[in-house]
Amino acid sequence: MSVSYWQAEGNQPVREVDFLVVGAGLVGCGAAYFAAQAGRQVVITEKADVALGASGRNAGFMITGLDSYYHRAIEKYGEAVAKEMWELSKHTIRFWRSVAAQTDEVSITTCGSLLLSESREEAADIEQAARALDAAGIDMLYHSRDPLGRGYFNAIENPDDGAVQPVQLAQAVLKTSGAELIANNELYHIEQTHPEQVTVYTRKVIFKANYVLLCTNAYSPQIDPYFIGKVIPTRGQVLVTEPMPEPPMKTLGYSDYGYMYYRSTFDNRLLLGGGRNRYFEQEHNTTEDFATDPVQRVLDAYLRQYFPDVTVPVARRWAGIMGFSVDGLPLAGTLPDKPRVGFAVGFTGHGLSLGAGTAERAVDHLLTGASLGAVDVRRLEAKILA
Ligand SMILES: Cc1cc2nc3c(=O)[nH]c(=O)nc-3n(C[C@H](O)[C@H](O)[C@H](O)COP(=O)(O)OP(=O)(O)OC[C@H]3O[C@@H](n4cnc5c(N)ncnc54)[C@H](O)[C@@H]3O)c2cc1C
């Protein structure tokens, strides 16, 4: 992003802060919580307002694990990393639940999930994933037939997964963190002006911060060129129907290698999302968060094929921008030329699974140099050098 001379030189007041988080999505609010727990005074600066990015536009699935099926995750990252990410997602979901348990303002449920297959080929993959989970000692239920009776082939059930109202969750995490939020305050530019101080130019304030943590996910390449090619902005689209007398589904469901997903809302609507794989060119490398006719037509057709019993009209359609990391794992670390500027980005459509745990590691790393484990961005450099 570029900012004009006139905007940048707007005589903003200078303010000293201890720990500045950029971005008030689920991850920024989570990071604010962990930094406050570490004894820091936390301020969040946000371009728009809390949960107006992907965090308030998602499907609200709290799914254990990565976007790849378990045996594929082992092939891609190795057994140790696949297990570590599984544990990180469990840790993250536990954190959201513990925040929600402190208030009655978050709709949240442990409804379980079904990973379903739409073809014989996918069914074979799901069977292999079930075997790999079993071999890793991870509890789940394998269904050799479609447990929903909707035309799927087989399924893996995880009874521990759950659903949430994500805007309420982000607001609750923000409140629990105790951090001050400065909304409508876009970051323009960051300079590491001193080894122990960062100057952050924003719309309303010039901050002098001891520490800065970027939680700007899909928008990170607009903030620092370091993220170009590492975080790919990717559009996700959903629709939600009018309410029905009964919930259309009891569990979360997802299929077509995660490209399609469906659940009941807390007021008995069907939420259906996905279809971006059919329009790859249009849905990748974009930060435009509007719903498009081609993808919405895919969702309409899916609704007719798999949910013919859902006859109520569609009430709303929307889109959001996710930050896909170049290798599918979250990215945490510090900017090479700005050691006091950390980041937790690249959740690849799984911020509710991996966001809080990654934010916690990023905060620890920035403050103490603690290990980041598998989310350490330096794994990409190692691959480039190899
Ligand atoms: C349609 C859809 C469905 C999804 N479904 C799921 C799901 O079911 N489960 C799941 O786990 N994940 C899902 N995701 C992904 C999930 O929403 C994200 O992984 C998660 O919200 C990432 O959180 P975040 O805080 O990192 O990003 P965001 O919520 O995008 O927050 C980034 C914030 O940074 C702010 N920002 C950007 N630039 C600046 C700047 N220059 N200055 C100040 N602030 C700035 C933005 O305004 C934004 O508020 C879905 C996403 C979409 C779009």
* Mean of pLDDT over the chain: 95
Q: Is the CB of 349 under 6 A from ligand 1?
A: yes
Q: CATH number of 232-323: 1.10.357.10, 3.90.380.10, 3.30.70.20, 3.30.9.10?
A: 3.30.9.10
C-alpha of residue 281 to centroid of ligand 1, in Å: 21
Report the distance separating Cα 109 and Cα 161, nearest Å.
Answer: 9
Residues 115-154 pLDDT 10s: 999 999 999 999 999 999 999 999 999 999 999 999 999 9
C-alpha of residue 239 to centroid of ligand 1, in Å: 18
Query: How much of the chain exceeds pLDDT 90, in percent?
Result: 93
**Which atom number of ligand 1 is nearest to the Cα of residue 238?**
1
Provide the residue count of the chain.
Answer: 386
pLDDT score for 64: 96
Count other Cβ atoms within 10 Å, centred on residue 3: 15
Pocket-testing residue among 47, 62, 220, 232, ligand 1, by greatest number of atoms within 8 A of Cβ = 47
Q: Is the CB of 274 under 6 A from ligand 1?
A: no
C-alpha of residue 84 to centroid of ligand 1, in Å: 23
Provide CB contacts within 8 A for 153, sequence distance 6+: 116, 117, 118, 119, 120, 122, 123, 126, 145, 146
Residues 235-269 pLDDT 10s: 999 999 999 999 999 999 999 999 999 999 999 99
pLDDT at 8 over 80: no
pLDDT score for 383: 66
The model's confidence at residue 384, banded by pLDDT at 50, 70 and 90, is: low
pLDDT score for 66: 84
Report the distance separating Cα 321 and Cα 223, nearest Å.
Answer: 15
Superfamily of domain 5-56+169-230+328-385: FAD/NAD(P)-binding domain (3.50.50.60)
pLDDT score for 9: 72
The model's confidence at residue 100, banded by pLDDT at 50, 70 and 90, is: very high
Pocket-testing residue among 46, 115, 220, ligand 1, by greatest number of atoms within 8 A of Cβ = 46
C-alpha of residue 49 to centroid of ligand 1, in Å: 12
Q: Is the CB of 45 under 6 A from ligand 1?
A: yes
Sequence spans of domains, the chain:
5-56+169-230+328-385, 113-159, 232-323
Q: Is the CB of 54 under 6 A from ligand 1?
A: yes
Q: Which amino acid would we find at residue 103?
A: T
pLDDT at 7 over 80: no
pLDDT score for 238: 98
C-alpha of residue 349 to centroid of ligand 1, in Å: 9
pLDDT at 233 over 90: yes
Provide CB contacts within 8 A for 356, sequence distance 6+: 26, 27, 30, 91, 92, 95, 96, 173
Residues 112-125 pLDDT 10s: 999 999 999 999 99
What is the mean pLDDT of the segment spanning 179-184? 98
**Which atom number of ligand 1 is nearest to the Cα of residue 60?**
8
Pocket-testing residue among 190, 219, 259, ligand 1, by greatest number of atoms within 8 A of Cβ = 219
Q: What are phi and psi of 321, to 5 degrees?
A: -110, 120
Q: Is the CB of 262 under 6 A from ligand 1?
A: no
pTM: 0.97
Tell me if 37 sits within 8 A of 31, measured CB to CB: no
pLDDT score for 126: 96
Residues 22-65 pLDDT 10s: 999 999 999 999 999 999 999 999 999 999 999 999 999 999 98
What is the mean pLDDT of the segment spanning 338-352? 97
